[in-house]
Amino acid sequence: MQSLAQGTRPVIVLRCCNLSAFHVSAYSAHERCGCIEPRICATTPSSFIVIASPYLSNSAVVVDVLLDISTSAPYLSKGVEQQPATVLPLADASVKAAFATTAIVDALERMLPNATTPNVIRSLSAVIRNLTEGAVASVVNAPSLLFSFFRVTRSATSSTVVCCLRAICSFTSDLVLFIPSSSQSVRDEVELMFVRDAIDSIFRLSDHVATPNAVSWLSRAICNMAKVTLRRNLLAPKKFLAQKTTTIDGVVTKFAVARLSTYATTPDAVRWLSTAISNIISGANTSVTATFATPAVAEAAVRMSYHATTPDAVLCLSTAMSNIISGALPSVKAAFATSAVVEAVARMSHNATTSKVVCSLSEAIACTTEGADASVKTMFATTSIVET
pLDDT at residue number 133: 73
Which value, to the nearest 10 degrees, does the dihedral of the CA atoms of residues 97, 101, 107, 108 take?
60
Write down the pTM of the prediction: 0.71
Overall average pLDDT of the 229-248 stretch? 63
pLDDT at residue number 326: 81
Residue 273 vs residue 385, higher pLDDT: 273
Mean pLDDT of the chain: 70
Domain extents in the chain: 1-86, 112-235, 237-388
Overall average pLDDT of the 146-153 stretch? 88
Which value, to the nearest 10 degrees, does the dihedral of the CA atoms of residues 85, 87, 92, 94 take?
-60
Query: For 186-223, what is each residue's pLDDT tens digit?
Result: 567 777 788 888 888 888 898 899 999 999 999 999 88
pLDDT at residue number 207: 86
For the cut 60, the answer to whether the pLDDT of residue 313 exceeds it is yes
Question: Which residues, in sequence order, are CB contacts of 134 under 8 Å at separation 6+?
Answer: none
pLDDT at residue number 56: 37
For the cut 50, the answer to whether the pLDDT of residue 76 exceeds it is no
